[in-house]
Chain A
Amino acid sequence: MKKILTLFILFAFNSFSKIDIVSLPLRDKVQLTIYNSADLTLVRDERVLTLKQGKNNLQFSWANTLIDPTSLDLIPKQEIASISISQLIYPPRINEVGIWEINSKISKKIPFEISYFTSGISWEAFYIGIISNDEKSMELKGFVKIINRSGEDYENASVRLVVGKINLLEEIQKLAKRYPPYGTPSEYIYPVEKIERVPVMEYRAAKGMLLEAREKEIIKEGISEYFLYTIEGTENLPNNWSKRLSSFSQKDIPIEYFYKYEEEKYGKEPRRIVKFANDLDHKLGKEPLPDGTIKIFKYINKEGNLSYIGSNITKYIPIGEKVELDLGQSKELKVEVKKMERKTKNYMFNKDGNISGWEEEEIYKVKVTNYKNLPVKLEIKRNFPHQYWKIETDKSVEWEKYDLTSAKFVIILKPMEIKEFTYKLILYEGDRRN
């Protein structure tokens, strides 16, 4: 239902007597800029007003919507030098009404833009990834879903989506519910009178649901620290409806499909990881990928049947950055790490004869089994209690220092292969650290 009303009321000179209600201008154009990091949409509503020379008053009301009254703005699009908007009045004891005072040097029809923030319209990104049979490439499809719970219908709206994190001091929803719009100087709550509503026409949601012959294009561009998606043409967004649109689709993205094992982070099961980068080498890199849910499937045969691998929430991926998707536990691979030996040695004593330092030596055996008929790569991360450590391994295994207190082993397994290796960890304690 249309809930925003614009009454264009003319006042002659400085008199407060209402002379004439000239027009009830309808929306000519509406643009929605929807944010995903905050419950906020910037609405730009274009209407043509017939101005008389002198003082003109424009009443704007928005009962039962989620509009932030402190965000209201009115901008003339023509004859800017002849028109001044001196003030915006929130009348006493009437909620959800604002009156602009427009001083005009001319009598003319002028297009105006009314802009405001509303809460209740949101959008989210959503992805589907389909991994090839050989686990070397992936098809990635991106979608955007727009949800309107603002209380207002938006017909033929041009829709823009903003990717990025804005700073907001107060929630728009709270500002929409606050009366008076800027609060009061004291804590006293003033009673509110609801404005009498004029019955307005209800729009049927079905009107906007006509199918189009082709999918709409989404134009993408960077602005400041954000990214702006502009959906081609206009959309109908009735209240309480949501809509999903395709954002992009890319086939044959080279990926690295591998496994990770880290007891402290994931427990004793290895995790499946898909790695790629948002760059040209990976046939992407045209736009940052907004955060959203990703569902990963895999082709299991030549007939194109799929199996569901897992789902995750991706973080925002700037152009050029690598991404690792954690697709959950895997039974395709087994990792067993056992402590086989522990001994202490190389004791040091102080001059009172007490222990002042020693070394701890631990031997671990790692057994990895690949149950798949494809080769796999596994990364095992081992964490240590402190930074005073040393590792000795068989030559058969590759490892690197990850940071102060951890090391990473990389193991490549052939299909159905079992691999075993041992490593010795030496921890230096007390004066042995110096």
Chain B
Amino acid sequence: MTDVTQSPSSVPSRTRLVWIALPLAVLGLAIAWLISTDPLSGFRNGAPPVENLTFERTILGPEGIQVLVRAGGSEPMTIAQVQVDDAYWQFTQNPPGPIARGSTVWIAVPFPWVLGEAHTINVLTNTGALFANEIDVAVPTPTRDSMSFASQAILGAFVGILPVAIGLLFYPALRGVGAVGMNFLLSLTVGLLAFLFVDALEDALELADEAAALFQGETMVVLAATASFLLLMAAGRRSGTPTGLTLATFIALGIGLHNLGEGLAIGAAFASGAAGLGTFLVLGFTLHNITEGVGIAAPILRKRPPLWTFAALTLLAGGPAVVGLWIGSLAHAPQWSALALAIGAGAILQVVVEVVSMQLRQRVGGARTLLAPTAMAGLAGGVGFMYLTAMLVKI
């Protein structure tokens, strides 16, 4: 009896199962045929396997130099010898043996590196292919001790938290502005966010270029930015268009994600000795990021949020810089910084869209609001300020 009642529904489901199994079976057969009969042997021209090796991290310490390398060859790769500055050196590989595609190993060389000078590490595979990694300036890599954690936290505070806090301090002064002033401030916010978007995307693409080919850096950046933009748009619009504190929180989140990526990059740059940490540079970052606080303040000028929200917004926007510095100086690989920056870029694009839509709702003027002289001045002011202060920090 049950058979009869179930048969109308079970037959189609069985058919569906067959139609799932069939394509998979075809794939399986194709693979089996490819492996067993080797019809592509004609393409095998005696050329050695394609080899690729990407250097992801370099650690300089009292025991010498350690590098983390990722293999990207068509077949597992074997490291035969290691040169430092065109001299063969003893080395140990951990884990030993051939490196499968996509896997990483640590190579430790007991090399007496010289502080402040440049070194080149060459890895030779068993086929004689050579992969080089430049150490531009040899400085000891930060270790996981509380001392360097604390000093990185201070640096992060100067770069991320302090400027946002200073920017938010303008809140009381800005509260009294009228509609025109509000339009100016929102345009200023759009301007600075637009700058950050371009900046983040450019940095992400640059870092993606350094990553191992198998991560498909550029594609990853575009996809991650688009995904974060769409996800945040959807999340933000779940209960209507975000305004006021919600919009301020989204702006803080976007800036925070950007600061995370920036912190990762700065941490890695300082850890690798690529950038010397000068007071001027740190102050430049502080100045550069002050407008971020103003931008966060803009949507909540008409509200009266509780005081703790300011602290929370500051931490949300600036705190990730500290976290980024910690991670970046200890465990950096270009693909992760690129990913963080791409997500940040997507998040910033979302708030640009939302701030503009808020501007559109401010006045009955509609689209003309966006082209009003005050709005233009605000945009120019935001982009211009960011561009000029960026001159202090770009090396």
A, B from the same assembly: no
A residues with a Cβ closer than 8 A to B are none
B residues with a Cβ closer than 8 A to A are none
